[in-house]
Structures are given as structure tokens and as C-alpha cells.
Chain A
Amino acid sequence: MKKIFKLEDLDCANCAAKMEEKINKIDGVKSASVSFVTQKMTIETDDDIDEIMKKVVKICKKIEPDMSIIM
């Protein structure tokens, strides 16, 4: 399953790259991309997306606390 989330207040391109790297390392995530330009996050997984998203939110909060993911 592939899900796309809108991001708000993602102000730093380097942070987007960092998040992408970390999210890709989560168990169960097949592929993930965080686009600074389009302010969108794409996550592909076969596992429970809600469980994965909990981890994703944690990672994002750590790297860019001001950013929010529109679920």
C-alpha cells in the first residue's frame, strides 16, 4: 500500500533528506520519500500504516519539530 501525506511547515531541505533516510530504515517500510519541493511524503508499506506512522511522526518531530504531517 502506498500512502501520500501532505506536510506543513517543512522549512529545511536538508531535514527532508534526513527524515527520508531515517524513515526508510523503519522495519516494514518498503520505500519512503520526503519531498521538500512538493511538501509531500510518500510511504509504501505492507504493514499496518498506523503503526508505521507513529514511528514516522517520532522521527519527524526529532528532526524538524515545527513540521506537521496532515493525516
Chain B
Amino acid sequence: MLACLIAASKLTDGFNGYLKLGLFLAVYLIIGWDVLFSAVRNIVRGQVFDENFLMTIATVGAMFTGEYPEGVAVMLFYQVGEWFQKYAVGKSRRSITELMDIRPDYANVVREGKTVTVSPEEVQPGEIISIAPGEKIPLDCVIVKGSTTVNCSALTGESLPRSAAEGDELISGSINLSGLIRAEVKCEFAQSTVSKILDMVENSASKKAKSEAFITRFARYYTPAVVISAVLLAVIAPLFFHGVWSEWIHRALIFLVVSCPCALVISVPLSFFGGIGGASRHGILVKGANYLEALSKVGTVVFDKTGTLTKGVFYVTAVHPEEISEKELLRLAAYAESYSKHPIAESIKREYGKDIDTDQIKAIDEISGMGIKAELQDVTVHVGNGKLMDSIHANWHECHQQGTVVHIAVNNEYMGHIVISDVVKDDSKDCITAIKALGVGKTVILTGDSKNVADAVAKELNIDEVYSQLMPGDKVEIVERLLTGKQKKSTLAFVGDGINDAPVITRADVGIAMGALGSDAAIESADIVLMDDKPSKLATAMRISQKTMGIVRQNIVFALAVKALVLILGAFGIANMWFAVFADVGVSVIAILNAMRAMKIKKQGTISKGEVPL
């Protein structure tokens, strides 16, 4: 095309001016008629600083100053650039949407003995659906027949398949891998997990980040400012300093070409959308670009302890007998606790692992605030705290290990104790190390648990501050105090399980709920939702946010720098219109391609600790 133009300009050297103009005008109209048409139409509608209009003025102006090839070439480049930009945006949009595509297309429902394929919206709660291997689970349901393995990776980012049998709940959006199953639908499609997640991610674009708002505001002033400068540039030198009109008008036209802020206006939201899409692939749902932005600046992270950093399930961590065997001590405790539903009792029974022969139990008395007295076949067993041991004058002693200690006495004789504690999650420590490397200055634990348990967890995980023995209301108060105490620019994030701590989640700059699969309360109250209960996902989320913000900054700086450079060079007559077209559409395309990087996040594990992949 370019070669043709140059050849054409050489050829037409021999012709007279009018013929030359006529030829170029014809080519120009073929290439750019739609731009001209839109420009005229928009002026009629009162839209003056529209990019079509500016391009029209610039190219028509170039023709008037005698630069026919330039006018045509600029229009051609502009059109090619626009087309490429449109293609790139469309492709990015599609690939991000595909990334988040967990929407089931159909459901096979069993009606009157026959299986019919309908859209998931048409299935009522209580109906039975049939799901074959390889199909998406269309609605939240409970298996009534068959067993299988399911892959929830689209929801949680966890690629390890989970097995499920009769009575197990299945979550819509996950994929049935191995067996043909029948399941009873629990709720309508609109209420299903998959709809809620889709709604959330799709609506995230309406909550705009500060940098996005800044760009929009900037764009509002940028275009008029550049156009006014162009007018001044065109008239001042010729009027007052004997400049050549055509020369200065030509320089002014360069200004018009770079006056569109498109590169910024497209690439900044696209980067955020890419980041949000990439995060959703990892089971991290971000409700808006503003939260992604706030997350990148987190300086303080406040954790709820139980269920967030620890498993929230009690385990027997030590059995210390005095006279008898460990097994016998556990057996006595399990029998005494056999009727209790308390988590501590459950943990002892789980550790014991055998069936309890209830015939051996003659009587059980609960002694409020102390423990249990049980009459077994031929012995009396006391199971409880130190106070209970004191009351029967058993010679007991404290344990050196952290956790809740359950003492056991047989016929008022001390037999030893069992230590029960909540276990720290496997990746909690990695999470704390990683977020500190990512710039978190202060980590805090809030818990209703006792001081020694909380302190032990904090020490193990290297957490800076601990607030223990809190009532639910205290948590909000402490978060407020931390909010006023922190540095202005950094933000505070709260991470909890989203069930009991909704008020704190709402109060924090960034409220993060964890293990939210199946918990509506958490999905509703939090700003960022981690679908599974791995604390290390917090570090992944922070990496994604920082990478996205990095890309946003690169795009802003790059686009503005190129435009400023072209404006300066153009004003001094060094840059020509080719530069200007590049600064307009070329920069846009590069910025869009750069924005797409926000979507691609390396899987955890391929990133060495603390490294921020950019």
C-alpha cells in the first residue's frame, strides 16, 4: 500500500496539480469515507471533539497544505490501526470472558421417566437431573444415585479432583469427571453458586478504580487542551512572527492526530478486567477494579484466627498418660465424652476411632463449667479441667504443651491428660512470608480464643500483633483503631471466613472472605472472595493486584510519554504526521497488548517465594 502511494506520488509528479489532487482525493475517499461520514454526522449532533472529526481535519488539512500523499497515508494508517485496535479489544474481551466461562449451557432433567435436555433456568428445585461424565454440573444439587469425582478448578483454582457419593452436595459450575450420576436440584438457577459468581465478576466492571476515574477525568481535559494548543500553534507564529502559514498549520495538524486519549481510555479498564479475569481462574473473585487497586497497596493485614489461619477443627495433639497406656487413657476419655457433641469431645472420639459400646456406660453427669463424671462398668471416670480435678482432690499438674488440656481421673486418682488444639493450616506460614515480601508491613491476629493459644499461633506464623479473648464487637473496634493508626496511602485488609465477621469485613478497606464455596453470606459481604480456604491464595491475589497495577502504570506512562514527545517534536517541526499516527493508534494497540498480560498469572509454585512476576 505504502509503496503504491509513493509510486503514485512519483507518477503524478508529471501531471498538473488538479489531476494529482483528483487522484489522491479519490483514493482518500475510498479509504476514509466512513471516518468523514461519522465526522459530519457527529458535528450535526454537536459532538465536536470526536476522533473522527479530528482525523478528518488533520488529513483534509494535510491535503490543503499540499501534502497529498501524507494526507492519504495518515488516513490509511489510522484506519488500519483502528481496525487492529478493534480486533485486539474484541479478542481480549473474548479471551477474558472465556476464562470466566463457567456458565452451564444445559441440564438433563428426568421428567416422567424420560431424560429431557432443557436450559438450566427451566429446572425447578426438587427435580432430578442426570449428569454424565465430562458434563458441567448445571445447578447446585445433592447426589441421589451413583458416585463420581468432580473437578472444581473453574471455581476454586484447585485442580485436584474431589470424590463425591450419594448424599454429597455438588456445586454448579464444576465438572463431573468419572461417573454417571443422578442428583436432586437444591435451588433455582438464579440462586445457584454459578449464577452468583458470574453476576459478581460481570458486575465488577461497574466499580471503577481510582486510576480509571483519573484517566476519564484526564481525557475530558486532554483533548480540548490539545486542540486549543493546535489552534494557537497554527495562528501565533504566522500572525506575529512572520511564520509560513502552511508550515505552522501542518504542525498544528500533528497535534490534532495525537489529541485522542484512546490508548489510555481503553487499556486501563482492560488491564483491570484482565486482572479480575485472571484472578477468577485461580478461585479468587474480585468484586471491582477499586478493590484490586486497594489490594495492591495493602500495608496491614488483619486475620481472623480460627478457620482462617487454623483449620478450625480440633485435633488431639498429645496424649500424656501417668499410669496407664495412651490407648487406655483415650478409651476412658472417649467413653466419658460419648454423649457430648462439643467439638473437643468430637475430637477425642475421632482420635479414639473405635465404636463405643454404650452398654458399658452406666451413668453420665455433666458438671457445668468443669467437665463430666461417668460411671463405667466398674470405675468412676472424671474428665475435665483443673477445677474438676481439684474438686475430687486428684493430684494433677499443668501441661507444657499449648492447647486445651483435658484431665482424666479414675476413681479419683489422676491418670493423665489429653491436649487438644486447633491446627495451623499447612500454607499459613507461606502466606505470611509471601505477603510480607509483597510489602505488607504489619500482620495482626484477632481471635476470641485464649491468650496462650493465640500467642502460640502468632509466634509460629511470625505475626506481629495479637488481640485475643475478644468479643465479636471488639473486633470492629480494633480494626477501626488500626485504620486510624495506619499510613494514609496504604490500605488495611481483613481476612476472615465471612460467617461471623461480616461487620469487620465491611469496615476494612478490603474485606476478604475465605472458603466461600457454598457460603452466601461470605460472597455477599466481602469485596474479594477466596473460593477455597487456603490462606496462600491471599498472596496470589496480592501478586495479581500488584501486577495489574504495574501494567496500568506502564500503560499510562508509556502512552503519555509518547504523546508528549510527539507534541514537543511536532511543535518544533521535527515530528511528521507518521509519528503522530503511531502515537495515536500504534500506542493504543501496544497498550492493549500489554493490558492482556494482566490476565496471565503463573500458577503458584512456579513462582519462587516473594517474587512478583511481571
- Which residues does A use to contact B, with CB under 8 Å? 4, 11-14, 16-17, 20-21, 33, 35-40, 42, 62-63, 65
Q: Are A36 and B86 in contact (CB under 8 A)?
A: no
Q: Are B206 and A11 in contact (CB under 8 A)?
A: no
CA distance A16 to B216 in the complex (A): 10
Q: Are A33 and B206 in contact (CB under 8 A)?
A: yes
Q: Are B202 and A40 in contact (CB under 8 A)?
A: yes
CA distance A11 to B50 in the complex (A): 13
Asked whether B273 is an interface residue with its Cβ less than 8 Å from the other chain, the reply is yes
CA distance A63 to B42 in the complex (A): 8
Asked whether B120 is an interface residue with its Cβ less than 8 Å from the other chain, the reply is no
In the complex, which residues of chain B have a beta carbon less than 8 angstroms from the beta carbon of A65? 41-42, 45
Q: Are B45 and A13 in contact (CB under 8 A)?
A: no
Smallest CB gap from B261: residue in A: A14
Q: Are B273 and A14 in contact (CB under 8 A)?
A: no
Partner of A13, one of B41, B42, B46, B262: B262
Q: Are A17 and B216 in contact (CB under 8 A)?
A: yes
Q: Are A38 and B41 in contact (CB under 8 A)?
A: no
CB distance from B95 to the nearest CB of A (A): 12
Asked whether B411 is an interface residue with its Cβ less than 8 Å from the other chain, the reply is no
Q: Are B208 and A11 in contact (CB under 8 A)?
A: no
- Which residues does B use to contact A, with CB under 8 Å? 41-42, 45-47, 51, 86, 89, 93, 202-203, 205-208, 216, 219-220, 260-262, 265-266, 269-270, 273
In the complex, which residues of chain A have a beta carbon less than 8 angstroms from the beta carbon of B207? 33
CB distance from B227 to the nearest CB of A (A): 14
Q: Would A14 and B51 be within 8 Å (CB), given that A35-B206, A42-B203, A62-B45 are in contact?
A: yes
In the complex, which residues of chain A have a beta carbon less than 8 angstroms from the beta carbon of B261? 14
Partner of A38, one of B86, B262, B266, B273: B273
Q: Are B269 and A35 in contact (CB under 8 A)?
A: yes
Partner of B205, one of A11, A38, A62, A63: A38
In the complex, which residues of chain A have a beta carbon less than 8 angstroms from the beta carbon of B93? 37-39
Q: Are A36 and B47 in contact (CB under 8 A)?
A: no
Q: Would A42 and B219 be within 8 Å (CB), given that A11-B86, A14-B262, A37-B269 are in contact?
A: no
Smallest CB gap from B49: residue in A: A14
CA distance A17 to B266 in the complex (A): 10
CA distance A63 to B93 in the complex (A): 23
Q: Can you list 27 pairs linking A and B with CB atoms under 8 Å apart?
A: A4-B202, A11-B86, A12-B262, A13-B262, A13-B265, A13-B266, A13-B269, A14-B51, A14-B262, A16-B265, A17-B216, A17-B265, A20-B216, A21-B216, A21-B220, A33-B205, A33-B207, A35-B206, A35-B269, A37-B93, A37-B269, A37-B270, A38-B202, A42-B203, A62-B45, A62-B47, A65-B41
- Best-surrounded residue of A12, A13, A40, A63 (most CB of chain B within 10 A): A13
CB distance from B156 to the nearest CB of A (A): 23
Q: Are B269 and A36 in contact (CB under 8 A)?
A: yes
Partner of A14, one of B42, B86, B206, B260: B260
In the complex, which residues of chain B have a beta carbon less than 8 angstroms from the beta carbon of A13? 262, 265-266, 269
CA distance A4 to B201 in the complex (A): 13
Smallest CB gap from B595: residue in A: A37
CA distance A41 to B219 in the complex (A): 20
In the complex, which residues of chain B have a beta carbon less than 8 angstroms from the beta carbon of A4? 202-203
Q: Are A63 and B266 in contact (CB under 8 A)?
A: no
CB distance from A23 to the nearest CB of B (A): 12
Smallest CB gap from A61: residue in B: B45
